[in-house]
Amino acid sequence: MVESVRGLGWPVEVKEVVVWRVGDSGSGWIRWVGLGLGVVVASAASGHPGGTPIGKPRAGIYCASCHASTAEADLEGQREKATAELPENKHYKAIRAGIGVYGKLSEADRARLVELLEAVDRSSTITVEAPAEVAAGSIFEVKIGLTGGAGPAVAVGLFDRPHRLFTRPISIVGFEVLGLPRVVGGKLRPSAAAAGTKTSAPAPTSVPYLVDIEGVSSSADDDRWAKMQVVFRLKAPAKAGDYPLVGAYLYGTEKAVNLSRRTDDSRFPPFPLGGETAASGRVKFSSKQVLRVKAAP
């Protein structure tokens, strides 16, 4: 079922809604509430550098509205919007011009900051390793390799296409996620319930396709970049066919640079200089894999 969020024009395709805690992946997430198989309604967008305070359902990458895109193709068909979402226009332009809080930096420091943030973007990568062919209903693994990202938390997930508006979770297109992924080089952020935090949100009814990874540390000043591997166990769709598979990496940039890494706010240490509504977060897609599902013998 596809609906458009009124007033925003964002398409929403919902098969099931599962509430889960999603934390800091750069700038933040919109809060979403779903009603069965109906329309998903969005509240006002705001960033949460200390972690999103409520659960997040099975929504697409479009809810990371503060994040900048790393490729114009991520908003293919959106013309001027696709260009406006690139880091140069959505993030770096304000730094170069000294707009807002960036005006506190000297012109030389602003130029240096952009150079270092560009290094964060170059060094933040995502790759997906998956079998070329599996049998219908079989169980297999998909390995996602990650580098860079400001940390201390990033997010990673599996989707069907590299498009910020139209991508869908792999669970909607026929794959089943089996258990939580294994993580090397970081650790899964626990849900609020698992961490012993009181919450009124219902417990998740299935495993999320998008998870937070904690313990991530990169430094552009020292040319030091985090390296992680996230391994998902999947059950192949029951129907034979060719299925696209894409990884999405949501990460921050400013906290990897001393000039833009704030530690003076005890609520959210560390904190990006641009603040919770800045465009310092990024959405980066992997190249698209095509996985062939063969009919079971």
Residue 37 has pLDDT above 50, yes or no: no
Hunting for tokens 């508006």 — which residue is that?
165
Strands 153-159 and 241-252: antiparallel
Residues 75-91: what's their mean pLDDT? 93
Please list, in sequence order, all residues whose beta carbon lies within 8 angstroms of the beta carbon of residue 9, skipping any fewer than 6 positions away. none
**More confident site: 261 or 22:** 261
Using pLDDT thresholds of 50, 70 and 90, give the confidence band for residue 284: very high
Q: How far apart are the C-alpha atoms of 1 and 157, rounded to whole Å?
A: 22
- Summary count for the chain: helices (H), strands (E): 5, 21
Q: How far apart are the C-alpha atoms of 250 and 26, rounded to whole Å?
A: 7
The predicted structure's pLDDT at residue 190: 64
Residue 157 has pLDDT above 70, yes or no: yes
Hunting for tokens 């998902």 — which residue is that?
232
> What percent of the chain is modeled with pLDDT above 70?
71
Domain interval for residue 177: 64-294
Decide if 25 is inside a domain: no
For residue range 211-232, list pLDDT tens digits in order.
Answer: 999 999 999 999 999 999 999 9
Other Cβ atoms less than 10 A from the Cβ of 194: the count is 11
Decide if 17 is inside a domain: no
Decide if 13 is inside a domain: no
Using pLDDT thresholds of 50, 70 and 90, give the confidence band for residue 80: very high
Of 292, 276, 257, nearest in space to 47 by CA: 276
Decide if 56 is inside a domain: no
Please return the burial class of 109, using the count of CB atoms within 10 Å of its CB with bins 0-12, 13-18 and 19+: middle
Q: How many CA atoms lie within 13 A of 60 on its CB side?
A: 26
For residue range 94-137, list pLDDT tens digits in order.
Answer: 999 999 999 999 999 999 999 999 999 999 999 999 999 999 99
**More confident site: 47 or 283:** 283
Residue 153 has pLDDT above 60, yes or no: yes
Please list, in sequence order, all residues whose beta carbon lies within 8 angstroms of the beta carbon of residue 219, skipping any fewer than 6 positions away. 256, 257, 258
Residue 1 has pLDDT above 60, yes or no: no
Using pLDDT thresholds of 50, 70 and 90, give the confidence band for residue 62: low
Residues 154-166: what's their mean pLDDT? 92
Residues 184-191: what's their mean pLDDT? 82
Decide if 8 is inside a domain: no
**CATH code for position 251:** 2.60.40.10
**More confident site: 47 or 208:** 208
Residues 167-179: what's their mean pLDDT? 92
**More confident site: 293 or 29:** 293
The rounded radius of gyration (Å) of the Cα atoms in the chain is 19
Other Cβ atoms less than 10 A from the Cβ of 139: the count is 12
Other Cβ atoms less than 10 A from the Cβ of 1: the count is 10
The predicted structure's pLDDT at residue 207: 66
Residue 21 has pLDDT above 60, yes or no: no
Residue 159 has pLDDT above 70, yes or no: yes
Decide if 40 is inside a domain: no
Q: How far apart are the C-alpha atoms of 208 and 229, rounded to whole Å?
A: 17
Structure tokens at 28: 């933040």
Number of domains in the chain: 1
Strands 68-69 and 281-285: parallel
DSSP state of 26: S
The predicted structure's pLDDT at residue 15: 37
The predicted structure's pLDDT at residue 208: 80
Decide if 77 is inside a domain: yes
Residues 4-10: what's their mean pLDDT? 33
**More confident site: 180 or 5:** 180
Q: How far apart are the C-alpha atoms of 176 and 245, rounded to whole Å?
A: 13
For residue range 233-280, list pLDDT tens digits in order.
Answer: 999 999 999 999 999 999 999 999 999 998 887 776 788 998 866 799
Q: Could you tell me the CA-to-CA distances from 103 to 57, 84, 107, 250, 279 in Å, in that order?
A: 37, 21, 9, 27, 16
Decide if 225 is inside a domain: yes
